[in-house]
Each structure stands twice: as C-alpha cells, then as structure tokens.
A = this chain, B = another copy of it.
Amino acid sequence: MCPHALIPYKPKNPKTRLSSLLSQEEREAFAFAMLEDVVSAAKDAMCSPVVVGTELFDSELVQVTVKDADLNQTLNEILPTVETGLLILMADLPLADEASIRRVTSTTKDMAIVPGRGGGTNVIFMKEPKKFHVDYYGTSFLKHMKIAADAGLSVEVIDSSRLHTDIDEEDDLVELLIHGTGKSRAYLESLGFSLATETGRVRCARKR
C-alpha cells in the first residue's frame, strides 16, 4: 500500500524552453521547487519518493544517481528488480496532489497511465513492474499503451489535468500561477511573475 515513486530529475540546466524567461540559476531553483512539490504530493498519497537524478545534488531526499543519461535504460534496469507496485512520475508536475496520485495508484487495472500534453507520459503506475518496460520521448503515451497491450497488461488512462500539465513553456507557467499552491508557484511569484490579463488572452508577466 506504499509504492515507491521514482522521480526522474535533472538538476543541471533544466527546462531550457524557459530560457527566455529565466536564467540558468533560476531554472535550476525552479526545477528543484517543482521537484519538492511533486515529492510532497507523493508523500501525501503514501508513496515513498526516490529521486532518479542525472547527478547527485544537495538535498535530504532519497536519491539514486545514474551515470548514464539514458532515462529509458536506467529505468528498464530498475523495473525487473522491483517486486511491488511502482510509480514513475515526472519532476515537472507541480500541480500533482494527493487526490490525483491516489486515483493513479488505486487503479483496478494492471497499470495506470497519465498522458502529458503533446503525447508524452507524465505518470505510470505498474502493479508488476517486471512485466513492463518504458520508452520515453516522442509520443511515449502511444508507445506505452502498445507495450502494455503487447504484454497483455490492462491499462487505465487517468483523466487528470493536474497530472497532465507538465511545465515546459511560458503558457504552462500560467497554469501554475492559477492552480498551483506549493513552492514552485511561490518561487515564480518571488521572481515577480503574475497573471497578465490586459490583452484578452491570459499570459504571465514578470516585473523586473
């Protein structure tokens, strides 16, 4: 009833699509704040977070450090060794909350998947991780659905905008400023970001 939650995380130079808005130092602090929000939500949902980082970083969090940059290979070496239910969730899901993660881990199917915006995969829950393997990048959601089908695993696709919303681009910051309640929203606000509605369409603006 307390699955491990693997959280892939890149501490150095993350979120480059936000480079026009945030310096590298700010992007690193922002990514860490999002990670903290995800870890907090996972703990609230009674999961045990394990950060799968590309390098060791200064934190109290439980970390597995991987030498290889290939996320798929790393995870696919871990999966066959896990005898219990396992959650993999991305570190850029700061809208994740207890309720949305519990909807994933309480599936009655063999697995649950939450697609990300643009066809990615934001969350995977496997009751028997050894029967599955991951294939991230591109339209990984469709790839993961096929891998599950080929392995004879039933899948529930969880319909959650909180877990669907990965933060990659400026428009995504708007979602965080509207719906976020954690450290990453507070960090953005500390940098001067707020909602700008003057032009009709809602955007975010930064005071400098």
Contact = CB atoms under 8 A, between A and B. Distances in A.
Interface in A188-208: 195, 197, 200-202
Given A115-B161, A164-B164, 5 more contacts: A99-B159, A119-B197, A139-B178, A139-B195, A159-B161
Nearest to A141: B178
B175 A138 contact: no
A91 interface: no
B178 A142 contact: yes
Contacts of A100: 159
Nearest to A169: B171
Which 3 A/B pairs are nearest by Cβ-Cβ distance? A161-B164, A161-B161, A119-B202
A117 B159 contact: no
A118 interface: yes
A143 to B, nearest CB: 10
B115 A201 contact: no
A65 interface: no
Given A115-B179, A202-B118, A197 B162 contact: no
